[in-house]
Amino acid sequence: MNGLMMQQPLLISSQLEFAARFHQSVEIVTRTVEGPIVRTTWSGLAKRVRQLANALSASGIKRGDVVATLAWNTQRHLELYFAVSGLGAVLHTINPRLPPDQLTYIANDAGDVMLCFDTTFLPLAKHLASVQTPIKHFVALTDDAHLPKDFQGLRSYESLLVGQPETFTWPSFDENTASSLCYTSGTVGLPKGVLYSHRSTVLHSYAICMVDALAISGQDVTLPVVPMFHVNAWGVPYAAAMVGSKLVLPGPALDGVSLLDLITTEHVTSALGVPTVWLGLLAAAKTKQVKMSMLQKVTIGGSACPPSMITAFQEEHGARVLHAWGMTELSPLGTANVLLPKHASLSKEERLQVQLKQGRPIFGIDLRLVDDDGKVVPHDGKTSGHLEAKGGWVASAYFKSDDHSHHDGEWFATGDIATIDGDGYMQITDRSKDVIKSGGEWISSIDVEHAAMMHPAIAQAAAVGVPHPRWVERPLLVVVKHKDKEVSKEDLRAFLETKLVKWWLPDAIEFVDALPIGPTGKVLKRQLREKFKDYALP
Amino acid sequence: MNGLMMQQPLLISSQLEFAARFHQSVEIVTRTVEGPIVRTTWSGLAKRVRQLANALSASGIKRGDVVATLAWNTQRHLELYFAVSGLGAVLHTINPRLPPDQLTYIANDAGDVMLCFDTTFLPLAKHLASVQTPIKHFVALTDDAHLPKDFQGLRSYESLLVGQPETFTWPSFDENTASSLCYTSGTVGLPKGVLYSHRSTVLHSYAICMVDALAISGQDVTLPVVPMFHVNAWGVPYAAAMVGSKLVLPGPALDGVSLLDLITTEHVTSALGVPTVWLGLLAAAKTKQVKMSMLQKVTIGGSACPPSMITAFQEEHGARVLHAWGMTELSPLGTANVLLPKHASLSKEERLQVQLKQGRPIFGIDLRLVDDDGKVVPHDGKTSGHLEAKGGWVASAYFKSDDHSHHDGEWFATGDIATIDGDGYMQITDRSKDVIKSGGEWISSIDVEHAAMMHPAIAQAAAVGVPHPRWVERPLLVVVKHKDKEVSKEDLRAFLETKLVKWWLPDAIEFVDALPIGPTGKVLKRQLREKFKDYALP
């Protein structure tokens, strides 16, 4: 027996039209690529989105077609979010930081038929125009006055909209229809596409508006610094339409001073981004001696949040830090770290320790930990295991890929090693490929490195497992000393003995001049493991 | 092209198991019907729910069967919520305030096969056992020690659970499967059933956890005073499981003193209910000179919230009042009233005026206003129209009913007259059947009554339309004076002239000794219209 409730597909076009109907005068402010700050409202945006939908239809874009963007966080990019998906076409947000050969690969893999790009990325667009791809239309996200001249067939975005009606009847279709496509920028192998659906996007939007998730709200002025080319800016554009949040879009100016200026002039109350941008912002605020008192909440994700950053936002600016964790394959939100009533009685330091965890799963995402044999291990905050996820906004497969190694049909293997405590707080302790497996127990390379980095003479540290006849693997600690500082292996080992349990202590320490660093700034542990694979442990 | 995201049905059993996995130690506290306060946790509750699911299965309850409850807000009722729906059976929560003949009618209409009742409602259960219904099993929500003796075949709830395993594999099924059933208690005609689905329930749960809706949160200690026999306690039980809120369930003791006691001892931070219960609570707090400083949020719905109540909670207790509006047919949430950043600059009185509106729609609900001809009228905060709703948690039809007069295939006619302003704030001005239609314009009977009630001599007021040769209808004001107070028709009219626009002024005033009052405490305007249908206006 079915319920007797209205059947309405969960569609992205509904989010836009809801904003146009009920949040019409709420502003969307953009620092443009051309320079000036421009303003519209959700009502004004919706009119332009409908014009764009008419223009795209006139250009032959139809359901299932893939439209790519190479763009910053701007009003025009936001318009593309709603128009392309609203039509039933697929928005493919390309990360402009990818090397040209990978750009070529994903434009072909995705089957892009149109590319809309900010003029900042003209060289990348020219590259894509010079190689074999299915792209038929090139559109520069600007007006005719700013249109690059030496690009055959290039049209300006604004010229597309001219004369188009401000009304459009959005098609209704199955909520499982693909809506957007984002490629993971894996350090190994080719990028893999994650194909989101309208259903997954709308469910994820509800989830991130929950109090215990990202709490996206119409009561906030929201600044997504997290790029719209990266996992749909964590879903903020969709959620903001649903709740009618004022949006402040920073365009290409992601330096601390520019962000500080936007935050203070637009009275931003909620900002979201990765640790790197916040380092710049905090430095700018310190230099200019500005207290960001309007800022109530800073959401930090993308990589683990340093404790000093939490303290700086909370104590110097009075903003609550929300540590969150996600992945491209998770749309991205998996966990968010809000404190519970029981934490009110903790000391400041104890609360900080809780806040450093990646947080608790949001309903819609289920998490579990398994050992190497796939056996489930307990959520006791101590036992670590391979972190697996499932849920309505988790990828079931990669786009056009035969690689199902991350999927067992029910669970997605995140590639992380983590613990989960009794309250549901998940903490990532390692990447699966980096964990050191010693005598059936796992040693967190991250913890060993953090302990070494606490020594004043150590600038960089990497712990890797090297073969051991009895324990299978034992940790080798590879460290770089600060130029002007000195420490002996013996003294460093004595220092580590005060920080780590005995069997986690590295069996050997090697001093090197530099660690191998990859294009994304991460230490290439694979190279270290290769280099030290025949290392003779003492 | 479909997205490549995991397909997981939205099921109520997932909410319970999520709570058991990630909110295991969060408490659920109940003031029992037997008297004492009992405590469990989401983990403990889940074990008992699984025992209950085993017991219900053993009793022959299967998918699609309807299990009725006559019960207060207690742990056992909460267990029934998850076990019955989790099995794929339908939970039919009966309002114990219905007269016996309506109880008989709905037990038959619903097709109840089991009735689980609190011993408070023994007379009602006996009534249902004495008449013809499909009910095969009667279960008293107590233990054997408290089991009523003179009821043949009656079993205690606790005896059902004894020896049942604490594990149960929840079935997976289509998310549109019916989950629960609630009858509207209409003042006219027979009650009509609204049949919710798992999908509508889970979507509604997400919605009410949003910051801009009811903001149900794991950071709160939540007291749903709104009965679990009334529209699923506004969905709070499901939402609380999702976010791991501590729940405080008041059982049968809904008087002010008992509620005040629970709020202070359990540190309730968020309470939800209808204005009547809050009157009792505020009076008890005043008498006992208790400031409820722990209380951060009071959600008020069910009927319009008096301004004095908002002021009392906000100024005497420091709790934010959230005015919300819904209907049984809307699961129930339609709108919630949160203030926007733009309201920060308003005076206290102006903010209060905004808070008195029913609020803004939550994404998932769409609202519109239409005139008598079904033509859409603008959202300008002035033009009133028939309020219509649609959305994924809006009823598409009534259970087993041929009455489709409220549904046009797309929109549900709420029966209210309302305005909606440019920010989306909806304000109910009248019931459709009570509005006075004068010369093509509508006069709000509620506004005329409110104006009359402001006069110190007036105790009760009702404005009804009476036939008029030129204007079709004109308002007649029928009033009851306070026993010890006096006012002339002329003076009352002069007073109204200071409160109402000229063409809303009643054409005549009648003094009566009493107004006809229905069983739910509302003035029976239908009777007044009948009585005055031949009234000769001056």
- Whether residue A6 lies inside any domain: the answer is no
B12 touches chain A (CB under 8 A): no
- B420 CB neighbour count, 10 Å cutoff: 28
Distances (CA, A) of B221 to A189, A345, A347, B268, B429: 48, 16, 22, 5, 34
Do residues B360 and B427 share a domain? yes
B27 touches chain A (CB under 8 A): no
Question: For residue B178, is it left (φ>0), alpha (ψ between -120 and 50) or beta?
Answer: beta
Pairwise CA distance, residues A86 & A15, whole Å: 10
Mutation pick from B11, B17, B22, B294 vs chain A, by most beta carbons of A within 10 Å, is: B22
CB pair distance less than 8 Å for B211 and A221? no
Instruction: Return the structure tokens found at B97.
Output: 């305030």
Determine which of A303-307, B227-231, B283-287, B429-433 has the lowest per-residue pLDDT on average: A303-307
Catalytic choice (A126, A390, A437, A499): A437
Give the pLDDT confidence of B156-213 residue by residue, as tens digits.
999 999 999 999 999 999 999 999 999 987 656 788 999 999 999 999 999 999 999 9
- Whether residue B1 lies inside any domain: the answer is no
Which residues on chain A are in Cβ contact (under 8 Å) with B221? 341
Cβ-based neighbours of B67, under 8 Å, separated by 6 or more: B56, B61, B80, B84, B89, B90, B91, B92, B112, B113, B114, B115, B116
Determine which of A305-309, B144-148, B348-352 has the lowest per-residue pLDDT on average: A305-309
Catalytic choice (A17, A329, A388, A449): A329
CB pair distance less than 8 Å for A219 and B341? yes
Sign of CA dihedral B252, B254, B256, B258: positive
Question: Do residues A264 and A294 lie in contact, with contact meaning Cβ atoms separated by under 8 Å?
Answer: yes
Which amino acid appears at position B492 of this protein? L
The torsion of the CA quartet B240, B245, B249, B254, rounded to 10 degrees, works out to -90
Shortest CA gap B182–chain A (Å):
12
Question: Do residues A9 and A173 lie in contact, with contact meaning Cβ atoms separated by under 8 Å?
Answer: yes
CB pair distance less than 8 Å for B178 and A2? yes
3-state secondary structure A354-408: HHCCCEEECCCEEEEEECCCCCECCCCCCCCEEEEEEECCCECCCCCCCCCCCEC
Q: Which of residues 283-312 of B touch A (CB under 8 A)?
A: none
Among partner residues B22, B64, B207, which is closest to A360 by beta-carbon distance?
Answer: B22
**pLDDT score for B406:** 86
Q: What are phi and psi of B138, to 5 degrees?
A: -115, 125
Q: Which of A116, A17, A124 is nearest to A75 (CA)?
A: A116
Q: Are strands A297-300 and A270-273 parallel, antiparallel or unpaired?
A: parallel
Cβ-based neighbours of B398, under 8 Å, separated by 6 or more: A4, B192, B193, B194
Q: Which of residues 362-391 of B touch A (CB under 8 A)?
A: 363-364, 366, 379, 390-391
Across residues B349-378, what is the average pLDDT?
A: 95
- Whether residue A376 lies inside any domain: the answer is yes
Shortest CA gap A160–chain B (Å):
26
Pairwise CA distance, residues A375 & B293, whole Å: 48
Do residues A429 and A472 share a domain? no
Beta bridge partners of A248: A29
Q: Angle of helix B256-265 relative to helix B275-287, nearest 10 degrees?
A: 80
pLDDT grade, residue B450 (50/70/90)? Answer: confident
CB pair distance less than 8 Å for A174 and B7? no
Of B251, B272, B295, which one is at a domain's C-terminal end? B251
Cβ-based neighbours of A508, under 8 Å, separated by 6 or more: A476, A477, A535, A537, A538
Q: What are phi and psi of A493, to 5 degrees?
A: -65, -40
What is B455-522 written as a DSSP string?
A: STTEEEEEEEEEEETTTEEEEEEEEEE-TT----HHHHHHHHHTTS-GGGS-SEEEE-S---B-TTS-
Do residues A459 and A315 share a domain? no
Q: Which of residues 320-349 of B touch A (CB under 8 A)?
A: 331, 338-341
Residue burial A279-311, b: 16+ Cβ < 10 Å; e: rest: ebbbebbeeeeeebeebbbbbbbbebbeeebbe
**pLDDT score for A186:** 60
pLDDT grade, residue B403 (50/70/90)? Answer: confident
**How many Cα atoms sit within 13 Å of A180 on the Cβ side?**
35
Q: Which helix (H) or strand (E) holds B107?
A: helix B100-110
Do residues A269 and A402 share a domain? yes
Do residues B490 and B477 share a domain? yes
Mutation pick from B4, B223, B238, B414 vs chain A, by most beta carbons of A within 10 Å, is: B4
Shortest CA gap A32–chain B (Å):
25
Per-residue pLDDT of chain A (538 residues; tens, 9 = 90+): 999 999 999 999 999 999 999 999 999 999 999 999 999 999 999 999 999 999 999 999 999 999 999 999 999 999 999 999 999 999 999 999 888 999 999 999 999 999 999 999 999 999 999 999 999 999 999 999 999 999 999 999 999 999 999 999 999 999 999 999 999 876 567 889 999 999 999 999 999 999 999 999 999 999 999 999 999 999 999 999 999 999 999 999 999 999 999 999 999 999 999 988 999 999 999 999 999 999 999 999 987 788 889 999 999 999 999 999 999 999 999 999 999 999 999 999 999 999 999 999 999 999 999 998 999 999 999 999 999 999 999 999 999 988 888 888 899 999 999 999 999 999 999 888 888 988 878 898 888 998 998 899 998 899 999 998 888 899 999 999 998 999 999 999 999 999 998 989 999 999 999 998 866 567 888 899 999 988 888 8
What is A91-154 written as a DSSP string?
A: EEE--TTS-HHHHHHHHHHHTEEEEEE-GGGHHHHHHHHHS--S--EEEESS-GGG--SS-TT-
B413 touches chain A (CB under 8 A): no
CB pair distance less than 8 Å for A199 and B3? yes
pLDDT at B84 over 70: yes
Do residues B22 and B146 share a domain? yes
Pairwise CA distance, residues B124 & B393, whole Å: 31
Do residues B237 and B355 share a domain? no
3-state secondary structure A231-258: HHHHHHHHHHHHHCCEEEECECCCCHHH
Which residues on chain A are in Cβ contact (under 8 Å) with B196? 3, 5
Distances (CA, A) of B183 to A532, B93, B121, B140, B229: 72, 8, 18, 22, 10
Pairwise CA distance, residues B487 & B456, whole Å: 9
Instruction: Return the structure tokens found at B48.
Output: 């008992």
CATH code for the domain of A503: 3.30.300.30
Do residues B444 and B315 share a domain? no
Residue burial A132-145, b: 16+ Cβ < 10 Å; e: rest: ebebebbbbbbeee
Do residues B238 and B119 share a domain? yes
Give the pLDDT confidence of B59-77 residue by residue, as tens digits.
999 999 999 999 999 999 9
**pLDDT score for B244:** 98
Shortest CA gap B479–chain A (Å):
38
- Whether residue B232 lies inside any domain: the answer is yes
How much of chain B exceeds pLDDT 70, in percent? 99
Whether the ipTM is more than 0.90: the answer is yes
- How many structural domains does chain B have? 3
Among partner residues B3, B200, B221, which is closest to A176 by beta-carbon distance?
Answer: B3
**pLDDT score for A521:** 64
Q: Which of residues 247-276 of A touch B (CB under 8 A)?
A: 267, 269
Question: Do residues A293 and A318 lie in contact, with contact meaning Cβ atoms separated by under 8 Å?
Answer: yes
CATH code for the domain of B323: 3.40.50.12780
Specify which of B263-272, B432-441, B501-510 reaches the highest per-range mean pLDDT: B263-272
Which residues on chain B are in Cβ contact (under 8 Å) with A64? 1
Q: Which of A71, A73, A91 is nearest to A81 (CA)?
A: A91
What is B54-96 written as a DSSP string?
A: HHHHHTT--TT-EEEEE--B-HHHHHHHHHHHHHT-EEEE--T
**pLDDT score for A404:** 82
Give the pLDDT confidence of B322-335 residue by residue, as tens digits.
999 999 999 999 99
Of A417, A433, A449, which one is at a domain's C-terminal end? A433
- A218 CB neighbour count, 10 Å cutoff: 26
Do residues B428 and B441 share a domain? no
Token match 């001093």: residue? A511
CB pair distance less than 8 Å for B1 and A178? yes
Token match 């956890």: residue? B209
- Whether residue A2 lies inside any domain: the answer is no
Do residues A508 and A523 share a domain? yes
**Any catalytic annotation for residue A502?**
no
Strands (E), B49-198: 66-70, 90-93, 112-117, 137-140, 155-156, 178-184, 192-197
B174 touches chain A (CB under 8 A): yes
Q: Angle of helix B42-58 relative to helix B12-22, nearest 10 degrees?
A: 140
Pairwise CA distance, residues B240 & B41, whole Å: 12
A178 touches chain B (CB under 8 A): yes
Q: What is the mean pLDDT of chain B?
A: 94
**Any catalytic annotation for residue A264?**
no
Note the maximum CA span of chain B. Answer: 77
Q: Residue B522's domain spans which residues? A: 436-531
**Any catalytic annotation for residue A437?**
yes
Residue of B nearest to A220 (CA): B341
Do residues B82 and B212 share a domain? yes
Q: Which of B66, B64, B178 is nearest to B111 (CA)?
A: B66
pTM: 0.93
Beta bridge partners of A210: B210
Higher local confidence (pLDDT), B109 or A460: B109
Residue burial A64-91, b: 16+ Cβ < 10 Å; e: rest: ebbbbbbbbbbbbbbbbbbbbbbbbbbb
Pairwise CA distance, residues B155 & B170, whole Å: 25
Question: Do residues B181 and B193 lie in contact, with contact meaning Cβ atoms separated by under 8 Å?
Answer: yes
Sign of CA dihedral B518, B523, B526, B531: positive
Q: Which of B383, B285, B271 is nearest to B319 (CA)?
A: B271
Among partner residues B4, B340, B363, which is closest to A18 by beta-carbon distance?
Answer: B363
**Any catalytic annotation for residue B437?**
yes
Shortest CA gap A395–chain B (Å):
4
Catalytic choice (B17, B79, B329, B473): B329
- Whether residue A1 lies inside any domain: the answer is no
CB pair distance less than 8 Å for A341 and B246? yes
Pairwise CA distance, residues B282 & B265, whole Å: 17
Which residues on chain A are in Cβ contact (under 8 Å) with B245? none
- Whether residue B56 lies inside any domain: the answer is yes
Of B433, B460, B491, which one is at a domain's C-terminal end? B433
Instruction: Return the structure tokens found at A336.
Output: 């968010």
Cβ-based neighbours of A294, under 8 Å, separated by 6 or more: A263, A264, A267, A268, A269
Q: Say whether A32 sits in a helix, a strand or coil.
A: coil
Q: Which of A207, A206, A204, A241 is nearest to A222 (CA)?
A: A241
Pairwise CA distance, residues A198 & A179, whole Å: 5
- Whether residue B502 lies inside any domain: the answer is yes
CB pair distance less than 8 Å for A179 and B398? no
Catalytic choice (B170, B278, B442, B504): B442
